[in-house]
Amino acid sequence: MFLEVDQVSIRYPRTPTPAVDAVSLQLQPGQLGVLLGPSGSGKTSLLRAIAGLEQAQSGSIRLDGRVLDGHGMRIPAEERRIGMVFQDFALFPHLDIAANVGFGLRGMARAQRAAVVDQMLALVGLPDAHKKFPHQLSGGQQQRIALARALAPQPRLLLLDEPFSSLDVELRERLAHDVRDILKRTHTTALMVTHDQMEAFAVGDVVGVMKQARLEQWDTPYSLYHRPATRFVADFIGHGVLMEGRLQQPRQDGVFEVETAAGRLRSMTMSGKDPDYHGYSEYLDNQPRQSHQLHQDEVPENPPGAHPAVIDILLRADDVMHDDASPFKAQVLRKSFRGAEFLYTLELENGQQLLSLVPSHHDHDIGEWIGIRLDVRHLVTFPASHRTQNLDADV
């Protein structure tokens, strides 16, 4: 591992609870990590501790095998060779772009420094910006320069704190993809903080979700979406709802069925050799009856003795298909146009709300009843809460 954060806790003076509580995460060389989470969950504090701007009260931080913080050691920030990019660009307004990018290269011979500046400006797609001043550049261009400046001294690790948050939405997404591309081309190991899930997915090889000082999950974007470890992660990532299901007594062959208000799902645990896949779920009530693979940890591990047991099933907007032929009907409560698709908020007869992504040529009116079919490829379940929950009530 290149970056190893091990059980790090950070507590500010005169505060009752830690800002970061026993957080562990790792990055391989060249890997891009992203910390995602609501305001105040501790993302910036952790980044600052890695940079050396805050001290970890317990735990340790290592970079390339060397302890930066912990075990009674503390390397000062300026000796860590860690670069930072902040949301407010922080370029020097009175220096031209070449001087801004070359700022961290003082001590390098003039010609060499000029060559690195040229190389960095080309890397961020602004090869002719040398003589301009920051105020002559757009927000997106300034942030590219901030990135060039941070990369010029070849930091061992780059930290980015909400680097796109002061840019407009369209630019953010484009710049996020560009930044990932630039960091990959330079084999930079980086850790970025953001509030924005789309940005996290656009940049991160691995993404962590923080909640109240704790890291709830540190995983690939795919796993965070399809295999959320906690209800909070299920809620924070993507659109979805939790729907109550009644788990029937497993049959002798290990198959069990879950009855829901929108149809019945079938699951089967298998002791197959493939460590990843242990079963499948099959939607029983509609054609086509495809079988889908199901991860074992998505099946309730010990189906409770009392059956039918009540569980909550995560249904993503892309698990709920519109199908005129289906016997299961839901009423359109809200819809939001997204270009290629509508995100429909639907309600079943029993009051259960669902979200459904539907190609936008299926333009149904509010109040209309439409057929739906579940297409659950990854059955994610949680022990039932006291009430069913709509994870995205405000869409």
Ligand X SMILES: Nc1ncnc2c1ncn2[C@@H]1O[C@H](COP(=O)(O)OP(=O)(O)OP(=O)(O)O)[C@@H](O)[C@H]1O
300 is an interface residue for ligand X by CB under 6 A:
no
In the complex, the smallest distance separating the C-beta of residue 47 from ligand X, rounded to whole angstroms, is 8
In the complex, the smallest distance separating the C-beta of residue 333 from ligand X, rounded to whole angstroms, is 31
Identified binder of ligand X from the candidate list 5, 36, 45, 389, rule CB under 6 A? 45
In the complex, the smallest distance separating the C-beta of residue 11 from ligand X, rounded to whole angstroms, is 9
Assign 35 to helix, strand or coil. Answer: strand
12 is an interface residue for ligand X by CB under 6 A:
yes
| Distance separating alpha carbons of residues 87 and 166, to the nearest angstrom | 6
In the complex, the smallest distance separating the C-beta of residue 214 from ligand X, rounded to whole angstroms, is 12
Residue 38: cis peptide before it, omega within 30 degrees of 0:
no
Write the DSSP symbol of residue 365. P
Q: Determine the interface stretch with ligand X among 21-29, 42-50, 231-239, 357-365 (rule: CB under 6 A).
A: 42-50
Residue 98 parent element (H or E): helix 97-101
CA-to-CA separations, 315 to 25, 307, 324, 352, in angstroms, rounded? 29, 22, 19, 12
> Among residues 44 and 353, whose Cβ is nearest to ligand X?
44
| Distance separating alpha carbons of residues 103 and 207, to the nearest angstrom | 31
> Among residues 12 and 337, whose Cβ is nearest to ligand X?
12
- Count, residues near ligand X per rule CB under 6 A: 12
* Window 22-41: residues binding ligand X (CB under 6 A): 37, 39-41
| Distance separating alpha carbons of residues 32 and 265, to the nearest angstrom | 37
Identified binder of ligand X from the candidate list 5, 43, 101, 129, rule CB under 6 A? 43
Write the DSSP symbol of residue 364. P
In the complex, the smallest distance separating the C-beta of residue 83 from ligand X, rounded to whole angstroms, is 19
Tokens of 292: 């889908």
19 is an interface residue for ligand X by CB under 6 A:
yes
In the complex, the smallest distance separating the C-beta of residue 103 from ligand X, rounded to whole angstroms, is 25
| Distance separating alpha carbons of residues 174 and 151, to the nearest angstrom | 19
44 is an interface residue for ligand X by CB under 6 A:
yes
In the complex, the smallest distance separating the C-beta of residue 46 from ligand X, rounded to whole angstroms, is 7
How many CB atoms neighbour CB 274 within 10 A? Answer: 8
Question: Which amino acid would we find at residue 215?
Answer: L
* Window 136-195: residues binding ligand X (CB under 6 A): 195
Closest CA to 214 of 7, 9, 20, 13: 20
> Among residues 42 and 104, whose Cβ is nearest to ligand X?
42
197 is an interface residue for ligand X by CB under 6 A:
no
Write the DSSP symbol of residue 292. E
**73 conformational bin, left if phi > 0, alpha if psi -120 to 50, beta if neither:** beta
Identified binder of ligand X from the candidate list 21, 31, 42, 391, rule CB under 6 A? 42
Assign 54 to helix, strand or coil. Answer: coil
15 is an interface residue for ligand X by CB under 6 A:
yes
In the complex, the smallest distance separating the C-beta of residue 10 from ligand X, rounded to whole angstroms, is 8
Where does this chain bind ligand X (CB under 6 A)? Answer: 12, 15, 19, 37, 39-45, 195
